[in-house]
Amino acid sequence: MKGNPPESFDAYIGDFPLPVQKILKSIRQTIKKVAPAAQESISYGMPAYKHNGKPMIYFAGYENHIGLYATPSGHATFKKELSNYKQGKGSVQLPLAQPVPLDLIRDIAKFRYEQLGGDKTDFTKGLSAPAKRALESAGIKNVRQLSKFSKENILELHGIGKTAIPILEAALKENGLAFKKIIPVNSSWILITHSP
């Protein structure tokens, strides 16, 4: 990496040679697959994931290795699996001369994500008690499940009022999600099933 610290994941990854970019993109996809609600950012000049406001896992590209930082519990829990790699305090070096262990990175990221609450983020903070009960009765326990519904669907739940929608939209947006979109067709509605 050269120059000033990058402002985004894409900028960070784009600063490396193409073979390393491919590896960094694979690590990013691996983590996002098991930690969909984790927030991406650049911290300490490297790609970082936080969940529920707490550090989850970081990674960084170097000339000869990928640095992995899973804050203490990730390293301690996977001590045996990481024993074949050079380690420092809170860091592991994954040599670029060997295949990067994406399955191990997946397992560590999943462990840290679950340890920090998994998909159980409190997306209902700020809602009235009836609105919380309405979501619970509908089986909507996390933002990923919420994103499978349109605003109109949610407003049909007994106990949900219009004041709940901005709170729920903010929770969805914070996790990179949105309500499903529906469009009118003649006098009926069609649910659009992809996220923005």
Coil/strand/helix, residue 14: helix
Number of helical H runs and strand E runs in the chain: 9, 8
Instruction: Tell me whether strands 86-88 and 91-95 are parallel, antiparallel or unpaired.
Output: antiparallel
Coil/strand/helix, residue 88: strand
Q: Are residues 35 and 49 in contact, defined by beta-carbon separation less than 8 angstroms?
A: yes
Give the predicted TM-score (pTM) of the model: 0.64
Q: Per residue of the chain (196 residues), give pLDDT as tens.
A: 456 778 899 999 999 999 999 999 999 999 999 988 888 999 999 999 998 888 999 999 999 999 999 877 888 899 999 999 999 888 999 999 999 999 999 999 999 998 887 766 678 888 999 999 999 899 888 887 898 899 999 999 999 999 999 999 988 887 678 898 876 655 555 555 554 4
